[in-house]
Amino acid sequence: MKKIVKSSFVAALLLFPGHAWATGDLGCEISDGNVKFDYATLINRGIGLFLGGDVRFETVRPEIPAPLQKLDQAKLQLVHSWYDDKEVRLMLYAEHQDDKVDFASIRLTIVAPMDENSDYAGTYALEVAGPENVVITGKASCLVG
Amino acid sequence: MRRSLLPLLVAVTLPSTAHATGNADCVIDEPGLSFTFEALYSYGGTGELLQNHADIELTDPKRPAGTWTFSLDGSALEQQWIVGDEFRVLLYKEREGADLVLDIRAKRSATEDIAFDGTYKLVIGPSDGSLFSRTGKVACSKG
């Protein structure tokens, strides 16, 4: 994924006839001992519009019921997002219930401010609700190109 | 101008779980610009906005040519971050051959738990290459 110099709401001030906002790629990832996560989407950089998105989420944490340990975008859905020249924010949510698991959910929140290299380096919080309630935290990074 | 809200709890059945919903809104009331945004939001794990609708009346003498009193349906909501003490929405609409972007960012009031105070930035880019923009205050509520 190529890096972009900067994409910002200021870009929205440089509107050209014909709505010539460029599209680009936005991707975020987590890779630590608790969570492996990849998110990739096209974005309209002028207005921060997310155009689709692919999700891969995997964890082996025992507090998380098995049906929620390996997910894609069909199950782990983007419910909040924010992208501008200062930061990338994502919140994804999934829930599950069956005869074995009365109810369980995970909520993954990523907040990644832009650094001096125009990368987005931040943190994540994975909130687990269900048979066990736990919050798992760590580092996350995003790139816009 | 802030509207007082009475929480409207409505059970909305989502694919697998029934979640209660409440009301959320934002208001801009300034000379030259009136704007209201209303939505339901889910009390469940997502906290996302549902069924949103907005009305805008831009009479600013510096506005681009055309009629700028209109409504926006749910498709205009392009970004939302209604998390914790923050209330952010970004709306986008193509109209009169121009692009309209309204960026609202508010934070929870220190004195009223359901209130969020912040600022807006409105940008309109007509096809003639000119640019209209204005900023100001916005008041939002979630209850």
Residues of chain A positioned with their CB less than 8 A from the CB of B103: 9
What's the CA gap between A38 and B91, in Å, rounded?
27
pLDDT at B96: 85
Residue A11 main-chain phi, psi, to 5 deg: -60, -30
Q: What is the pLDDT of residues A18-54, one digit of tens each?
A: 344 678 899 999 999 999 999 999 988 777 778 878 9
Say whether pLDDT at A7 is over 50.
Answer: no
Residue range A45-60, pLDDT digits in tens: 777 778 878 999 999 9
At A70, give phi and psi (nearest 5°).
Answer: -140, 115
The single residue listed with the structure tokens 């939505």 is B39
Residue of B13 and A139 predicted with greater confidence: A139
Q: Using CB atoms within 10 Å of the CB of residue B86, give its burial: 0 to 12 exposed, 13 to 18 middle, 19+ buried.
A: middle
Q: What is the pLDDT of residue A1?
A: 33
User: From A49, which residue of chain B is nearest by alpha-carbon distance?
Assistant: B78
Q: How many CB pairs under 8 A join A and B?
A: 76
Spell out which residues of chain B touch residue A18, defining contact as CB-CB under 8 Å.
127
**Which positions of chain B have pLDDT values less than 70?**
1-18, 45
Q: What is the DSSP string of A46-99?
A: TTTEEEEEEEEEEE--TTS-GGGSEEETTTSEEEEEEESSSEEEEEEEEEE--S
Residue with tokens 């209330």: B87
A95–B101 CB contact, under 8 Å: no
Cα–Cα distance measured from residue A115 to residue A33, given in angstroms and rounded to the nearest whole number: 24
Q: Do B79 and A82 touch (CB under 8 A)?
A: yes
Inspect the interface and report whether the beta carbons of A95 and B133 lie closer than 8 Å. Answer: no
pLDDT > 70 fraction of chain A, expressed in percent and rounded = 85
Interface contact A16, partner B, CB < 8 A? yes
Distance of CA A75 to CAs B67, B94, B126, Å?
A: 42, 32, 40
Residues A12, A14, A17: CA angle, nearest 5 degrees: 100
Interface test with A, best of B41, B42, B50, B78 (most A CBs within 10 A): B78
> For the complex shown, is ipTM > 0.85?
no
Average pLDDT, chain A: 84
Residue written as token pair 């944490």: A61
pLDDT of residue A13: 39
